[in-house]
Structure 1
Amino acid sequence: MRDYVSRVVDTELDELFPGLPAITLEGPKGVGKTATAQRRAGTTFALDDPAARELLAADPARLDRADHPVLLDEWQRYPAVWDLVRRSVDRDPTPGRFLLTGSATPVTAPTHSGAGRIVRVRMRPMTLVERGVQAPSVGLGDLLSGRRAPVDGDTAVGLPQYTDEILRSGFPAIRDAPARARRAQLDGYLARIVEHDFPEQGHLVRRPATLLAWLTAYAAASSTTASYNTILDAATPGDSEKPAKTTTIGYRDVLTQLWLLDPVPAWLPSRNPFSRLAQGPKHQLADPALAARLLGATEDSLLSGAATGPRIPRDGTLLGALFESLVALNLRVHAQANEATLHHFRTRDGRHEVDFVIQRGDHKVVAVEVKLSATVDDRDLVHLHWLRDHLGEDLLDAAVITTGPHAYRRADGIAVIPAALLGP
């Protein structure tokens, strides 16, 4: 059996579970939710097993009699269990009683949101730190502290290895397989979404090829703010009978319920010094390996800059977009560990944009640019300087994430950090 690899979310669960009666761990299939939850469970009900569902339906009081913590794995397969847990917590709010894992938002919604009883925690594919690429030397928490601490560290990880990590994926059961087996597993993952997961969500796919074409166009839009009309046009070039808007909205909604789409929302600060900001999300799939597979990208095609997949307007190469997706995955996991949220920033006229803005609870932020380059020059920092001038003390720190070998802080105070060296 594969040894358990510690995850960033483990620390969050260790901090939360002793003070909360119930937590639901949510995220796409295959990210490791069950393995992480089972390490804390006294009793497990695998609710993708009909026998386990029948057992609970016949005797709901088993939840109270079982050895706690109780793990309810794939709870969305038996949505009634949500209200059973909520009522049990109302009777006994002792911390550490229930863990639920879910790979989809259930079609039949629970009768109660669970607010105040069940706390949601998101789990995503593995970060570079969790993959063991290299021990980090810079923490996002340090950047969020606002102390402007020294930044240092060196890495031998370069563009070829980052490209390999994009293709290898952050799904624990997929990433270590041989290359051909890994491609087959990714194909199977995508096929299951169309053939099984959509019907389980109550959405019959009458034209699977159209859904896959839309999802492929969405993958091509990774790290862009392309409109959904642009994505639809790219999915159906020259097709006079395009699917209805309600159809593609259905695709988007179900893929969101399956945690497969993970768009980065626009930053709309409450203390807003800006008059006109773009509000559309920046598109991302849960794992850049899925995007690469949908687009037929290979190590050679990515490194050579060869065009693959539908045409979506974007600045730079597909490799640059997928490297930004990889950085986005890392930043989201590390931001969550620090009780912060990830956004992107763009003025409506497009004159100023910053790849990522990480916001603390007090609305102060760290700004991050991503560069598919080993070096940084002043031209790469224009938007960071502009944002710093406008935010003043609300900007805690600013950084550029690169593919280079060295982490350091420039004379102007901006941190330069190789992606492999950034941790929580």
Structure 2
Amino acid sequence: MEYLPRSIDFQLDDLMSFEAAVAIDGPKGVGKTATASRRAQKIWRVDNPAERAVLEADPYFADAPDGTLLIDEWQHHPDVWNSVRRLVDDSAPAGRFLLTGSASPITGIGTHSGAGRIASARMRPMAFYERGYLEPTVSLKSLLEGTTVKISGSSPLTAASYYQAITKSGFPGIYGLTERQAQTRLDTYLQRIIDRDLPEAGLSLRKPLLLKRWMSAYAAASSTPTSYSNILDSTTSGEGTQPSRATTENYREHLAQIWLLDPLPAWEPSFGNPFKRQKYAPKHHLADPALAARLLGLTSKSLADRRGAPMAGPLLESLATLTVRVAAEAIGAKVGHLRTSSGDHEVDLVVEGFDGEVLALEVKLSAHVDNKDVRHLLWLRDQLPDRVNNVAVLYTGTEAYQRQDGVAVIPLSLLGL
């Protein structure tokens, strides 16, 4: 398959210019190896026993060639993390090591966190603009920085197109398949998580079906800050069986370690928080909205009718959240959501740049945007007039334009890095 450029490439260009070691974190199948291998002079695939044995025999890379060294799936030999850390302490040159893995460093017993020595870059499934549907006409970076930019462009995509994008996934090995083929691949992916990946991460599963039921309940909470106790209550089976709170906390911990859960935190402004009454619960998201759709048995067709209609909006927001986070990560910005305690005001996505500049975004499953759709954006702009550079609605309509009140209206398919 031809390599499609990823936004993380820009981030790696920057990090590898001054960091000796960079870990690319993300779930299996997200494209970490394909991206990292394009930059490496030598690769060790640690999940291969023969290559792992070579690495074990030379833990400090004495016989390694010059240039960038890639240690792929490093968690199969956690000691290599400490070896790299020590070599960084010994003044390894910039760009010397890339580590890719599908598990957090805390899964390696005795593994140092790497803080201050090994930089991290988060890799997610492909953003909408990375999938090659259309050429973006609006830059998230320019919106955030407040650069004067014309909001224009036209998209032929309809709501049905976005439903297909949701169900066909952003995993590179899946999104190019037909929807039926993608469903089969996603079923296999989810089953391997339960049968192999989680046990490898240290989770002992006595009742695998109970875990899958909890994951389905979590999927049903996509794009909401509903409490974990409510998710737990939704896990009860027809026979009345329900996992304990401790069991579900264990589920969450291990699913987070393998990067399958990707909750969106509440936004906390870096330079003083003017919102004294604010809720801090995260919004729930799986790594890819296609996983949520598959756990719930939803197809692009069912999302368009009454069977899947309740989840159509939340899954579109999940797709938009993925897209915005991928772009923001590449430019060193952070993303959160905002909701006041009273529930009077909420903003789906708040992007904050390095100097505290803010871009606020709402996501709407609609071909039209009216005044009620922008009221929270205008409220936030009024609260922080010196920091909010732009406000915008991401929607499923066809035209990108700017309203008279300054709110940009942008088809999700036209938003790029």
**TM-score range, shorter-chain basis?**
over 0.9
Residue 111 of structure 1: CA displacement? Answer: 3.9
Q: Do the aligned residues in 1 keep the contact of 2:168 with 2:178 (CA within 8 Å)?
A: no
Please tell me whether residue 402 in structure 1 is matched to residue 395 in structure 2: yes
Query: Structure 2 stretches of 5 or more lacking a match?
Result: none
Residue 238 of structure 1: CA displacement? Answer: 6.2
Q: Which one-letter code corresponds to 2:80 in the other structure?
A: V
Q: Do the aligned residues in 1 keep the contact of 2:60 with 2:84 (CA within 8 Å)?
A: no
Q: Do the aligned residues in 2 keep the contact of 1:129 with 1:423 (CA within 8 Å)?
A: yes
Partner residue in 2 for 1:312: none
Q: Distance in 1 between matches of 2:8 and 2:43?
A: 20
Partner residue in 2 for 1:348: 341
**CA distances 1:24-54 after superposition (whole Å, capped 9, x unpaired):** 1110000100000000111100001122222
Partner residue in 1 for 2:288: 287
Partner residue in 2 for 1:156: 156
Residue 237 of structure 1: CA displacement? Answer: 5.3
Give identity over the alignment, percent.
50
Matches within 5 A, 1:96-135: 96-106=95-105, 107-135=107-135
Q: Distance in 2 between matches of 1:4 and 1:186?
A: 21
Structure 2 counterpart SS, 1:89: helix
Q: Distance in 1 between matches of 2:35 and 2:5?
A: 8
Matches within 5 A, 1:10-409: 10-62=9-61, 65-106=64-105, 107-236=107-236, 240-270=240-270, 271-307=272-308, 317-409=310-402
Q: Distance in 2 between matches of 1:388 and 1:122?
A: 29
Name the TM-score, length of structure 1 as normaliser.
0.95
Q: Which one-letter code corresponds to 1:396 in the other structure?
A: N
Partner residue in 2 for 1:420: 413
Residue 18 of structure 1: CA displacement? Answer: 2.3
Q: Which one-letter code corresponds to 1:349 in the other structure?
A: S
**CA distances 1:189-220 after superposition (whole Å, capped 9, x unpaired):** 00011100111011111000110000000000
Residue 21 of structure 1: CA displacement? Answer: 1.0
Q: Distance in 1 between matches of 2:100 and 2:283?
A: 27
Structure 1 counterpart SS, 2:128: coil
Q: Do the aligned residues in 1 keep the contact of 2:22 with 2:118 (CA within 8 Å)?
A: yes
**CA distances 1:268-322 after superposition (whole Å, capped 9, x unpaired):** 2241111110110000011010000000001221001314xxxxxxxx8311110
Q: Do the aligned residues in 1 keep the contact of 2:339 with 2:345 (CA within 8 Å)?
A: yes
Q: Do the aligned residues in 2 keep the contact of 1:368 with 1:398 (CA within 8 Å)?
A: yes
Q: Do the aligned residues in 2 keep the contact of 1:305 with 1:319 (CA within 8 Å)?
A: no
Residue 371 of structure 1: CA displacement? Answer: 0.5
Q: Distance in 1 between matches of 2:241 and 2:27?
A: 32
Q: Distance in 1 between matches of 2:301 and 2:72?
A: 40
Structure 2 counterpart SS, 1:173: coil
Q: Do the aligned residues in 2 keep the contact of 1:305 with 1:318 (CA within 8 Å)?
A: no
Which sits farther off after the overlay, 194-203 or 89-98?
89-98
Displacement over 4 Å in runs of 4+ = 237-241
Q: Distance in 1 between matches of 2:265 and 2:16?
A: 28
Residue 347 of structure 1: CA displacement? Answer: 0.6
Q: Which one-letter code corresponds to 1:7 in the other structure?
A: R
Q: Do the aligned residues in 2 keep the contact of 1:26 with 1:122 (CA within 8 Å)?
A: yes
Which sits farther off after the overlay, 316-325 or 273-282?
316-325
Q: Do the aligned residues in 1 keep the contact of 2:265 with 2:283 (CA within 8 Å)?
A: yes
Name the TM-score, length of structure 2 as normaliser.
0.96
Q: Which one-letter code corresponds to 1:32 in the other structure?
A: G
What is the RMSD of the two structures over their aligned residues, measured on CA atoms? 1.5
Structure 2 counterpart SS, 1:273: coil
The structure-2 alpha-carbon separation of the partners of 1:278 and 1:68, relative to structure 1 and needing over 3 Å to count, comes to: same
Partner residue in 2 for 1:3: 2
Residue 64 of structure 1: CA displacement? Answer: 5.6
The structure-2 alpha-carbon separation of the partners of 1:350 and 1:82, relative to structure 1 and needing over 3 Å to count, comes to: same
Structure 1 counterpart SS, 2:392: strand
Q: Do the aligned residues in 2 keep the contact of 1:82 with 1:110 (CA within 8 Å)?
A: no
